[in-house]
Amino acid sequence: MYDPEANFVYGVAARRLGRLVDAKETLGWAARSPQFEAVALVQSAEIALFEKDYDRASEQAMRALFADNMNVGALEVLAVSHRLGGRKAEHGRALGWLLDLDPLNHLARFERYLLDRAPESLEACRALVRNELPHETFIEMAAFYDRLGRTGDAVEALKAAPAHATVDYWLAYLQRDASPRRAPPRSTRPRPPRPSRLPVPRGGDRRLLLAVAAKPSDWKPKYYLALVYCGKGRLEEARDLFEMCEGADYAPFWIARGAFYERTEPARAAADYARAVELEAASWRPVTP
């Protein structure tokens, strides 16, 4: 009962399971330890936001900052709580503090857009997302808002993202209740012509599981779900999914599958790598030894 680490782990697990009373109680115990104080208070602040208790969210985030004044997560939650609570001046100060601490914090700039809805604010956010996978930056923002129960904000973040299949899967999942028959037609890669029968596995990414069930002939959700299962060590399920993607016309797929087979079936891995080079001979990835 008095073990702070056990309380913190249990609190995070209880939150994921939707048992918020248990989560709040055990995170409160964890916050009594200097080691877990800041991170437990950030979790508690996020729960308060989810419950639309914006004053308590601000209070918990500030307590986390007293414990660790460089806690970026606490500042992000503080900014959101001020925006939702209608405290514009405090919202601006929180974003200033956040950008002083983390000048490349894209969420801070997106928060400015959510407050003023000015096109120039959105462009200012987009213009500084210059990494190799910019869509992932917006997916991370969407994941943050989604766990706070801010579905509308998550959708706005995804709509600001560059076109990508995983962005579409997120949008489809978040809009499944409002528009269950609508699939956002943003990605342009063709689908393979042959259908495949795939029983929806359990325990995977729920957005990808939804996409696999909705589009059983499309190789893309199977590919992304296979990557998830590889990361979780569920290699048999990953292999089954990789096997169902023979029609893929995307070099990174063949690189990923080649890496999957490299130790167990080197000849097959070599064939997959050769297919990647065939598809994107001018790219550095397939031709790198």
Q: What is the pLDDT of residue 86?
A: 97
The tokens for 195 are 């259908």
Cβ burial, residue 263 (10 Å; 0-12/13-18/19+): exposed
Task: Render each residue's pLDDT in the chain as its tens digit; 289 residues.
Answer: 889 999 999 999 999 999 999 999 999 999 999 999 999 999 999 999 999 999 999 999 999 999 999 999 999 999 999 999 999 999 999 999 999 999 999 999 999 999 999 999 999 999 999 999 999 999 999 999 999 999 999 999 999 999 998 999 999 999 988 765 554 444 433 332 222 333 334 445 788 888 888 888 999 999 999 999 999 999 999 999 999 998 899 999 999 999 999 999 999 999 999 999 999 988 877 766 5
The tokens for 44 are 């508690």
Q: Which residue has the tokens 């307590």?
A: 63
Q: Which residue has the tokens 């200012």?
A: 124
CB 31 within 8 A of CB 8: no
Residue 257, phi then psi, degrees to nearest 5: -70, -35
Q: Output the CA–CA distances (angstroms, integers) from residue 194 to 68, 142, 210, 244, 245, in the order listed.
A: 55, 33, 20, 10, 10
Q: Output the CA–CA distances (angstroms, integers) from residue 64 to 21, 72, 74, 212, in the order listed.
A: 20, 10, 6, 40
Q: What is the pLDDT of residue 288?
A: 65
CB 196 within 8 A of CB 220: no
The DSSP output letter for 149 is: T
Q: Output the CA–CA distances (angstroms, integers) from residue 182 to 18, 106, 188, 204, 224, in the order listed.
A: 28, 29, 16, 22, 21
The tokens for 79 are 């900014």
Q: How many Å apart are CA 5 and CA 27, to the nearest integer?
A: 10
Q: How many Å apart are CA 89 and CA 223, to the nearest integer?
A: 45
The residue extents of the domains of the chain are: 1-128, 130-180
Q: Output the CA–CA distances (angstroms, integers) from residue 150 to 51, 84, 118, 146, 163, in the order listed.
A: 11, 10, 20, 5, 22
Domain 1-128: what homologous superfamily? Tetratricopeptide repeat domain (1.25.40.10)
First-last CA distance in the chain: 53
Q: What is the pTM of this model?
A: 0.82
